[in-house]
Amino acid sequence: MGKPEAILNLINYLWWLFREVDEAIRLGLTRDAATEAITLPKRFLISRFSPASRVSPLIQNFHRLNVMATYQALSNERGEQSKIHRAA
């Protein structure tokens, strides 16, 4: 089982992600625009002095996938599927 701090950090990230994507949808951003606009804050990144910092690019890419998946899920829930493909 993970450390309580790590679990709390993950929960905080997921709530932050939900709020950011929800706001992007309310503002009318497409999925691609939201993915570019919603960047991962430093508080969720691994310190560059940590040996684990080598996975930072991977974390950034997972974050982009999380934004896209959250956008898709919220759009489907709200029946706004057309906004996802409008930019394509």
Domain that holds residue 66: 4-86
Encoded amino acid at 82, one letter? S
Q: What is the predicted pLDDT for the residue at 81?
A: 55
Q: What is the dihedral of CA 48, 54, 60, 61, to 10 degrees?
A: 170
Which amino acid is residue 72, in one-letter code? Q
86 pLDDT band (50/70/90 cuts)?
low
Distance CA 86, CA 82 (A): 6
Mean pLDDT calculated for residue range 35-61: 91
Q: Report yes or no: 83 and 28 within 8 Å, Cβ to Cβ.
A: yes
Domains contained in the chain, number: 1
